[in-house]
Structure 1
Amino acid sequence: MKREIIITADGSSTIHLPEWNEHYHSKHGAIQEAAHVFIQSGLHHCCQLKSGRNGHLAILEMGFGTGLNALMTLFEAEKLNITVDYVGVEAYPVTPDEVFQLNYADRTDPSSGAAVFKTLHELSWEHAHEVTSHFSLTKRRQFFNAVADENTFDLIYFDAFGPRVQPELWTVPVFERMFKALKYQGVLVTYSAKGSVRRAMQQVGFLVEKLPGPPGKREMLRASKTKV
């Protein structure tokens, strides 16, 4: 499938799939969306929940894609002085040429972003790597329906292509796997607020709340595992 690099409304780039008219990140602002949905509503929220406990988070990203969410999480972990074990699941990795064209490094940390971003994409798959003292990364080349972790993660970034183009990724069986993968009181965040997505989450046991969405979206969802 053809993929092309475009510039979003906040000046950051993303990948566009013309055949599906779908983007890896919001056309209204890739970095703005990642910051709002995954960093503020996910990472910061989990840090508040774990206040008074150890400063460590295990994060699963469903849809590693461009690596933007991982890059922003790495820098945020350093700011918050926490350690993050990050697992990124991706069935179809982006190409080195596509990585080269993405401008996230300059827009997140011009001094070291380029080297870090390059490292994230060059690290071998299926192995854990300590990228910094605050951040380790494991990339798994895997389909969503093959995720079989149990009671492992504090936070899930659910960043699949939208339910309009890949509805099979937003179903009860997939969210059952997400529920099992989370620890008790773990949290899942996603940019989608579609009614069918919310109901699928609730069906497997999540407590789901609607939150204000990032630029260009009225709402997003945050789901919590409040029972075992």
Structure 2
Amino acid sequence: MNKVKIITTGDGSHSLYHEALQETYHNSQGAYREAIHIYMIYGLDSWLARNPRKYPIRIFEVGFGTGLNAWLTLVWAEQNQIPVLYHTIEPFPLEKEIYSQLNYIEHDNGIWHFHKYFEALHNAPWNEGGPVSEYFNFKKDKATLEEAQLYPSDVVFFDAFAPKKQPELWSKDSLQKVVEMIRPSGVFMTYCATGQLKRDLDALGLTVETVPGPPGKKEITRGWKAAKQ
């Protein structure tokens, strides 16, 4: 197990510091705020605006990590009563002594009643799938992107460590594996905004947008797959 330690970010929510990579799991200005801004607002909400009543929504996440994105998506699905099929991969799962201390369920009092699902996501068996709540079906694979079997998806949360830390995940070949399984009108969403990433996504056929980032990050990247002709 790679050694990680809990840190507190600018909005009061926790993140983790990966000592070997010398990298944090989230934006140091605010983990909770970052996840909502990038993956909920600019990712999931944007997809839904273009694809109303196209359910269930199939989501693929690269990097389960702390489970924050998955949990926020579950809350979103339950609040909106929209069915979601969520598939995530993570080759290095966190130990319970770490994830049980994370404070996301305490951070937003408005959704405290969903607290039980955060640990349920972490406790769910690896490499199996099934319902976690009424509107949220969940599968997590203990696998690298290279190893993982991918399924057609509407929304991609690409939340791997930065390209300088894990360049293999951001290679054009890795991106191609992900882009190929995005369904028509689907969206690829990531915090990364490097020029190379944008060029690669463009070359792979996505319409690439640079959109405003959360506090502490000027811009982020979104890519759209064309609608079915």
Q: TM-score range by the shorter chain?
A: over 0.9
- The aligned amino acid for 1:83 is P
Runs of 4+ more than 3 Å apart: 108-111
> What are the within-5 Å matches in structure 2 for residues 152-163 of structure 1?
152-163=152-163
- The aligned amino acid for 1:107 is H
Instruction: Determine if contact 1:131/1:137 at 8 Å carries over to the other structure.
Output: yes
Classify the secondary structure of the residue corresponding to 1:82.
Answer: coil
Aligned to 1:78: 78
Q: Which moved more, 1:111-120 or 1:6-15?
A: 111-120
Structure 1: state its 5+ residue gaps.
none
Instruction: Determine if contact 1:72/1:108 at 8 Å carries over to the other structure.
Output: no
Aligned to 1:122: 123
Instruction: Determine if contact 2:51/2:185 at 8 Å carries over to the other structure.
Output: no
Q: Which moved more, 1:64-73 or 1:161-170?
A: 161-170
- The aligned amino acid for 1:166 is Q
Classify the secondary structure of the residue corresponding to 1:146.
Answer: coil
Instruction: Determine if contact 2:190/2:222 at 8 Å carries over to the other structure.
Output: yes
Aligned to 1:61: 61
Aligned to 1:135: 136
- State the 1:39 CA deviation: 0.2
- The aligned amino acid for 1:30 is A
Aligned to 2:207: 207
Classify the secondary structure of the residue corresponding to 2:69.
Answer: helix
Within 1, Cα distance between the matches of 2:205 and 2:143? 25
TM-score, normalised on structure 2?
Answer: 0.94
Aligned to 2:176: 176
Structure 2: state its 5+ residue gaps.
none
- State the 1:137 CA deviation: 0.5
Instruction: Determine if contact 1:26/1:33 at 8 Å carries over to the other structure.
Output: yes
Aligned to 2:146: 145
- State the 1:20 CA deviation: 2.6
Within 2, Cα distance between the matches of 1:172 and 1:226? 19
Aligned to 1:101: 101
- The aligned amino acid for 2:79 is K
- State the 1:77 CA deviation: 1.2
Within 1, Cα distance between the matches of 2:36 and 2:170? 22
Within 2, Cα distance between the matches of 1:146 and 1:42? 25
Classify the secondary structure of the residue corresponding to 1:42.
Answer: helix
CA distance 1:20–1:168, change in 2 (3 Å)? same
Which digits, 9 at most, give the CA deviation of each residue in 1:151-210, with x for residues without a partner? x10000000001121111111101111111111111110001011111111121111100
Within 2, Cα distance between the matches of 1:32 and 1:106? 14
- The aligned amino acid for 1:64 is F
Instruction: Determine if contact 1:61/1:157 at 8 Å carries over to the other structure.
Output: yes
Classify the secondary structure of the residue corresponding to 1:211.
Answer: strand
Instruction: Determine if contact 1:106/1:113 at 8 Å carries over to the other structure.
Output: no
- State the 1:33 CA deviation: 0.5
Which digits, 9 at most, give the CA deviation of each residue in 1:17-58, with x for residues without a partner? 23432111111100011000000001101111112x334200
Instruction: Determine if contact 2:141/2:148 at 8 Å carries over to the other structure.
Output: no
Classify the secondary structure of the residue corresponding to 1:216.
Answer: coil
Within 2, Cα distance between the matches of 1:129 and 1:105? 22
TM-score, normalised on structure 1?
Answer: 0.94
- State the 1:148 CA deviation: 4.1
Aligned to 1:224: 224
